[in-house]
Amino acid sequence: MLNTMTSLILMSCILLVASLLFSRRKWYAPAVLSMLVWFVVFVAYSLIDKGMHPFKESTVLILSTWMIVFCVSTWIAQSIYVKPLLKDVRTSVVARDIYYYFSLLSIPFLIFDVVMVIRHASMSNVFTVLRDANVSENSQGIRTTGFFVIFWLVSFLMELQVANRKNMGRLLLLLLLNLLYVVVSMGKINLLILGLSSLIVLSKKGVVKFRHLICVGLIMCVAFVGIQSMRGAYSSMEKFAALYLTSSVANLNTHLEPKSAERPCENTFRIYYAIKSKLDGGKTIPVDTNLKFYQIPIGKHTYWSNTYTVLYPFYVDFGTVGVVIFAIFLGLFYGYLFKTSEDNSSYALILYSILSSSIVLHFFADTFFMILSQTIQYIIVALIPFVISKYNLFASYSKKS
C-alpha cells in the first residue's frame, strides 16, 4: 500500500501529465503550473523529511480534493467556448504612452518613500527595514509601495507584447523600473510576478523556448536566495528549501483546523472587514495578513512558519466544503483567462500572466482573496488601456503625435 506522501506525489504527477496533454503542452496553463509546483513540493518534502513526519489522512484528503477539483475545473473552462473579452483589441500608442509617462512621473513618490523609511530606520539591516515597510506601514505611516507600481508592471507587459526595435529603449527602462521596485521591496513574490508574467507573454509570442525557461528559472532561484540573504534570514540551502518549499504543507498538516475562524468568512473575504474598519473608524479589526507562527518539525530540525498553503482561508472559514467551492471558482476563473488569452484576447493574456503567480504560490499561501484589493486593482488597471484602445479615446492626441 502506498504511503501518504508517495500517493500525493503520484497523484500530482498524473494530473500534471493529463494537464499538459489537455492544454496542448502549454507550460503556462493553470493546471500545469499548479501541478508542477505541487509535485516539486511533495518530492522536496519527501527528501527532506524522509518519512519522519507523515501527513495525516485528513491532510491528504483535502490536498487531493484541492488538486483534483482545481484541475478538472480548469479543464472544463478550457473546453467551453466563451467569447473572449476585448478579443482582437490591441493597445493603441496613446494608451501605452499614458501608462509609460505616468510610470515615469510616479518614480519620485517611490524615491521619497524609500528615503523617509531609511532616514527613520532604527534597525541596522536596511534591506530588512525596506521589506517591513513594504509589507505594512512603519511608525511614520510610510510604505515603500503604492498603487502606481501596478501601472509599472502593466505598462511593461503592454510594451513587451508589441516589442520591436522602436520601443526597445522604453521596454528596457520599464524593466529597470520594475526591477528597482523588486530591490526596494525586497520581495521574492514581486520578482516572481515580474519574471513569470514576462515569460508567459514571451511564450505566447513564440519567443521563449524550453531551454530559456530552465535558464530563467535558475537565475530566479539564485535571485531568491540572494534577496533572502540580504534580508539576513538565510543560513543554508536545506533550510531555505525547508522554509520556502515544504514548511507550508507541514504547517497545514500540523496546525490547521477546519471551521476554526472566529468570525464568518473573515479570512476568505477579509476585504469586507477591512472596508468595514475604514467606515467604523477602526472598531472592526480585520485579520492580520501575517498569520500566527508555529514551530513545525521537518526531518531532524524544527522551523518557524506562518504559512499554510492556499487552502488556509477556505478550510478555516468553511471546512472541506470551502476547499471544494473555491477550487471550482479559481479553476474556472484561471481556466477562462487562459482559454481567452489563447483565443486572441491580449487583455486576458496580460491579466492571466500577472495573476498566474497566485497559482504558483498555491503551495505557499492564498494571494488571490487575502489581498483581493490588489487583485481588483490589477484587473482594473490592466483593463483601462484596452478600453481606451477599443473606443479610440484620446484620438486627437494620437493624431497630433
- pLDDT per residue over 89-102, tens digit each? 999 999 999 999 99
Residues 6 or more apart whose CB falls under 8 angstroms from that of 77 comprise 331, 332, 333, 334, 335, 336, 338, 339
User: For residue 291, which phi and psi values (nearest 5 degrees)?
Assistant: -75, 175
**Amino acid type, 66:** W
Cα(340)–Cα(323) distance, integer angstroms = 25
User: For residue 232, which phi and psi values (nearest 5 degrees)?
Assistant: 75, 25
Average pLDDT taken over every residue of the chain: 86
Lowest mean pLDDT among 84-88, 90-94, 158-162, 321-325: 84-88
Cα(173)–Cα(101) distance, integer angstroms = 11
Inform me whether the pLDDT recorded for 395 exceeds 70.
no
Residue 176: the pLDDT is 94
Inform me whether the pLDDT recorded for 123 exceeds 80.
no
Residue 33: the pLDDT is 94
What H or E segment, with its residue span, contains residue 302?
strand 301-305
Q: Is 43 exposed, middle or buried (0-12, 13-18, 19+ CB in 10 A)?
A: middle
What are the tens digits of pLDDT across the range 25-38?
A: 899 999 999 999 99
Nearest one of 260, 360, 352 to 313, comparing CA atoms: 260
Averaged over 164-169, what is the pLDDT?
90
Residue 401: the pLDDT is 45
Lowest mean pLDDT among 8-12, 108-112, 117-121, 319-323: 117-121
Residue 101: the pLDDT is 95
What are the tens digits of pLDDT across the range 190-232?
A: 889 999 999 999 999 888 776 667 776 677 666 666 665 655 5
What are the tens digits of pLDDT across the range 131-147?
A: 666 665 555 555 666 67
**Amino acid type, 268:** T
Residue 124: the pLDDT is 59
For 163, the grid coordinates are 516589442
Residue 125: the pLDDT is 60
Under 8 Å between Cβ of 310 and 361: yes
Look-up: residue for cell 478538472?
72
Can you tell me whether residue 364 is helix, strand or coil? coil
Residue 1: the pLDDT is 40
**Where along the chain do its domains lie?**
4-400
Under 8 Å between Cβ of 35 and 64: no
